[in-house]
Structure 1
Amino acid sequence: MSTTELPPGANLAVLRKARGWSQAFLARKASVSVSLLSKIEVGDRTLTPAVAAALARPLGLTMAQILGRADMTQDAEAHLSALRSAVRDYDLPGRPAVREEQVAAALETAGRLRDDVQMSRLVRMLPKLLRDATVHAHAANTPAAWATLSDVYSTVYWLAARHRWMDMAELAVTRQRWAIEQQTNPLGAALAARDRAGTYLNDGDFESGLIIVDRAIAAAQTALSGQERAFAVGVLNLRGMTLAGRLTDKAEGRREAERHIASASVAAEWFDRDWNRHHMIFGPQNTATHVLATRLDLGEPHEALSAAEGIDAVLRGLPPTRIAPTRINMARAQLDVGDRDAALENLTMAWEAAPQMARIHPMGREVFRVVSSLHRRSNPELLRLSKLSGIAL
C-alpha cells in the first residue's frame, strides 16, 4: 500500500494556500492562534485531531479531509472497486447458496487480518466475503446470519475509516445498522452504534457523536445483562471518551471524558482480561490505552504519560491494532513534554508493531514529520525509521 504524500500539517498548508488565505485569516476564523498554526505548518508542532476539526470548519472541509486520504496501490484499487460494488448490492444476493461454516471461517480469517493490520490482504478478500455473507443472511434469515453480515460491514467500515474513505465508511455503517435490524440483536445494535459514532468522530462532529453514544448506552443497559452488557457499555464508553477528548470546549470535554472514563472503568471490572468479540476489544487494558489517548487529546500530556505507566504490561496480549496507535499517542505526548528521543523510540515501536497501520495513520505520519523536523534529520535512529517506514526525510 502507498499513502498520501503529505502528512496532516503539510496537507493543511496546501489546502490553506489553495484558498488564497493567509495564516492569520484562517487562524482568526478557526479561533486558533497564528503562532500555533505557523508551528503546525512548518513541522514544529503536531496537528492534533481537535485542532484539525477546528481548522476544517472555516475551510468547508471535514477533519478527515484535513488529515488526508490514504491511497492504495493500483492492484488494491481494483479490489476496492469490487468492494464498493458488493456494498451497493446489499439487497441483491442473486448467487448460489453459501454454507454457514464457509462464511464463518472467512470472517474469522478477516478478523485475524484486521487484528494484525494486514490491510492489503484484507481488502483483497472482503468483496467475496461480503457477497457470501449477504447471500447467507438472505437465505438463512436468522439472527446469527444477520449478525455475521453486520460484522462484515463493521470490518468494511474499519478499513475505510483507517484510510479516511469517508463516503464508504458512512455507507458501511448504514448497511451495518440495516443488517443488524433485520433480527433483534441488542449487542449487535450497540456495536453498530459505536461504529456510527465513529463516522461523526472522523467528520469532526464530536457533539453529535456523543449523542449517538449516550443513546446507545441507554439502550444497551436496558436490553442486555451481565458481561454482554458490560462489554457493550464499555465499548461505547471508549468511543465516548475519545469524542469527549476532542471537544472544542475543553472544560466540557473534561466533564464528558471523566463521565465516560468512570463508566468504562466500572464496566471493565467485569473482566479479568480483555474480551475480543466481533473484533472489538474491551477490558481493563484497552480502557487504559483509551484513557491515555483521551488525556492527550484534552491537552494534558503529563497526565497522559502518568496514565501510561506500565504501558508494556498494558499492551501485552493486545493486537497490533491497539499497540500501534498507543505507541503513536505515547510519542505525541513525549513530543509535547520535550522528550524527542523517547518520542522517536515509541514511534519506531509503532512501525514495528503494525507497519501498514503506522504508515497510513495520520498521527503516525504527523509525529514522524515533527520528530524529523526537530531532529533536523541528524539522528541515526530517525534515519533507520525513515528506511523502515518508507517515508523520506
Structure 2
Amino acid sequence: MTTSRKPDDTPGGRIAALRSARRMTQTDLARAASVSLSMIRKLERGVRKPSDNVLDAIAAALNVDPSRLLNGADRRDGRVHDTIPLLRKAIATCDFPDDGPVRPLPQLQAAVDEAVRWRLEAQYVRLSHALPDLLAELIRGLQTMPGLAPLLVAGYRAADAAAFKYGYLDLSARLIDLMRGTSALTDDPLLAASTGYVRTEIFFATSTYHAGLRALELEIDLLPEGGGEDFQRLGVLGSLHMRAAVIAARGGQTEAALSHLGEARRLGGRVAEGIYYGTAFGPDSVRIHEVSVAVSLGDPHLGLALDLAKTWTPPAVMPAERRSGFFIELARAQLWAGMRDAAFESLRAARRIAPQHTREHRWVREDVETLLRLHRAGSEPLIGFADWLGVT
C-alpha cells in the first residue's frame, strides 16, 4: 500500500503550505518572487526542485528564511558555511577598506535593521548571505561618516550570531573584539554595555563561568541605573542582570544567580517587553530566563521551570530565537524529570519556531541522542527528527 507524504515533507509542499497560510495564490507568489507561474506550479507538484536563487526569491516573497522550505534530506547548512570566508574577508579590510560606493544613511539604517531582524528571528541563511557586502560597505563608510559606528556594531553582532551558532568561535571572538573597538568610537555607554552582553558568549563557549560573571558584573557597575524613566538604560541594564543570572547558574553560584535574576525581574517590571540595543528584554524575557536559570541549577529548581510551562508560553510577538530557546531549555527540564514525550514535543515546538537555531543547538542534539537511547521501540517522528538534526 502506498502512503502519501505529508505536505511539508518536500520543498514544494512547504512552499504551498506557507503560500496558503499567507492567503496568496500561485500567481501572487510568482509575481512577488519574480519567477514564472509555471515554475511555481512545478515546484508545488514536486516536478522540479528549486535552485538556490529561486529558493531565495520564493523565501523572500514568503518572508521566511530559505531553510523553512527545506526538509532534512534537502538541508543546505553549507550555504551558511560557504559565506564564512566572505565574512572573514570583509572584516580583514577594517583598517584598510577598499574603495567603493556607500549608500546614504537612511538606506544603510534600513539594511542594518533588516539584518538585526533576521538575527532575532534566527534566519541565518538570509543573514549570512547579506552580511559580507553590508559589512564591507559599513566599514568603508565609517572612514568618512563616524556616525555609522552604531550601525557597524549592529552588523558585527549580526555576523557574530551566525559565526557563533555554526561553531566558528575564532571568528566570533574577532567580531566581538571589533564590536568593542567600534563602540569605543562613540560616547554611548549603553552601546558599550551591549557589547559586554555579547562578549559573554566567549565565556559560555569555554565554560569559564566565574570569569564571565565577573565581566558582566563589571559592566553592571559601569552602568548605574540612574534616575527617571530612561527605558533604554533600564532595558540594557536588565539584560545584563538577566545574562549574569544564567552564567552564574551555569557556574553553580546559586546565590548570585538568584540575586541577578531578582534584579532582572525588578527592572523587567519597569519596562515593556521590547528590543533594547539589540537584545530582547522585558517581563517575558525574564520569565524565559527563569527557566534557563532553573535548568542550569538543576534539582531542586527544576520544578519552577515545569510549573511555569504549565501556565505560560512565550507570546508569538517575541523574537523567534528567544521563543525557541525557551522550549529547548524546557525540553531539558522535562527530560531530566522523566517526561520524555513532553520533552520531544518541546523540541518539536522549538523547531517549528526557529529551525536553524534548534538544529545548531548543542543541547538539542544531546537530548535527541538521549531520547533515542531511551526509546526501546523505534519512534518514526523521533527518528525523523534525529535525521533532520544529522545525529543518526
TM value normalised by structure 2: 0.75
Q: Please, which of 206, 213, 225 is the counterpart of residue 210 of structure 1?
A: 213
3-state SS of 1:81 partner: helix
Q: Do the aligned residues in 1 keep the contact of 2:213 with 2:244 (CA within 8 Å)?
A: yes
Greater gyration radius = 2
Q: Quote the Cα distance in structure 1 between the aligned partners of 2:152 and 2:184.
A: 11
Gaps of 5+ in 2: 1-74
1:218 and 1:329, CA in 2 relative to 1: closer, same or farther beyond 3 A?
same
The residue that corresponds to 2:193 in the other structure is 190
Native 8 Å contact 1:377 1:383 kept in 2: no
**What CA distance in whole angstroms lies between the structure 2 residues aligned with 1:357 and 1:267?**
28
User: How far apart are residue 78 of structure 1 and its match?
Assistant: 3.4
Residues 186 and 223, structure 1, Cα contact 8 Å, conserved in 2: no
Mapped to 2, the partners of 1:390 and 1:335 lie a distance apart of 18
Partner of 2:103: 98
Match for residue 332 of structure 2? 332
- Counterpart pick for 1:219 among 214, 218, 222: 222
Aligned twin of 1:87: 91
Equivalent residue number for residue 128 of structure 1: 133
Matches within 5 A, 1:298-313: 298-299=297-298, 300-312=301-313
| Pairwise CA distance, 1:93 | 2.5
**What does the per-residue CA deviation read over 1:227-278, in whole Å, with 9 as the maximum and x for residues that have no partner?**
122111111112101111111xx3xx11110111011011101123x11134
**Aligned equivalents of 1:103, 1:260: Cα separation in 2:** 36
Cα displacement (A) at 1:112: 2.2
Residue 137 of structure 1 aligns with which residue? 142
- CA shift at 1:164, angstroms? 2.5
Map 1:1-393 to 2 at 5 A. 73-96=77-100, 97-142=102-147, 145-221=148-224, 226-247=230-251, 250=252, 253-272=253-272, 274-299=273-298, 300-312=301-313, 314-386=314-386, 389-391=388-390, 393=392
**Other structure's SS at 2:144 match:** helix
CA contact (8 A) 1:154 1:172 kept: yes
* Deviation for aligned residue 1:95: 2.2
Partner amino acid for 1:340? R
CA positional deviation for 1:138: 2.1
Within 2, Cα distance between the matches of 1:263 and 1:85? 41
Report SS of the residue matched to 2:327.
Answer: helix
Q: Percent identity of the aligned residues?
A: 24
**Gap change, CA 1:264 and 1:105, over 3 Å in 2:** same
One-letter amino acid of the counterpart of residue 347, structure 1: L
- Aligned partners of 1:283 and 1:227: how far apart in 2? 10
Distance in 1, Cα, partners of 2:206 & 2:238 = 23
Distance 1:92 1:291 in 2: 45
Per-residue CA shift, 1:163-196, capped at 9, x if unaligned?
A: 2211011111100010010121111011011111
Distance 1:110 1:303, change over 3 A: same
Higher-RCO chain (CA-CA 8 Å, sequence separation at least 6) = 1
Residues 187-196 or 216-225, more deviating? 216-225
Shift of 1:94: 3.0
1:16-51: per-residue Cα shift (whole Å, max 9, x none)?
A: xxxxxxxxxxxxxxxxxxxxxxxxxxxxxxxxxxxx
Alpha-carbon distance change, 223 to 138 in structure 1, aligned in 2, over 3 angstroms: farther
Contact 2:225 2:234 in 1 (8 A): no
Distance 1:279 1:302 in 2: 31
String of CA shifts for 1:66-109, please: whole Å, max 9, x gaps. Answer: xxxxx975544332101011122212233233321221121122
* Cα distance in structure 1, aligned partners of 2:390 and 2:194: 35
Say if 1:289 and 1:308, in contact at 8 Å, map to a contact too: no
Q: Which amino acid aligns with 1:175?
A: L
Amino acid at match of 2:175: A
For 1:279 and 1:375, how far apart are their aligned partners in 2? 41
Q: Alignment length, in residue pairs?
A: 314
Question: Partners of 1:198 and 1:72 in 2: how far apart?
Answer: 25
Does structure 1 conserve the Cα–Cα contact (< 8 Å) formed by 2:124 and 2:162?
A: yes
Kept in 2, the 8 Å contact 1:98–1:135? The answer is no
State the SS of the aligned residue for 1:332: helix
> In 1, Cα distance between the equivalents of 2:85 and 2:226?
38
Going from structure 1 to structure 2, the CA distance change for 1:230 and 1:377 (only over 3 Å counts) comes to farther
Measured in 2, the distance between the counterparts of 1:279 and 1:150 equals: 10
CA distance in 2, matches of 1:90, 1:117: 26
- TM-score, normalization: structure 1? 0.75
Helix, strand or coil at the partner of 1:276: strand
Q: Alpha carbon RMSD of aligned pairs, Å?
A: 2.0
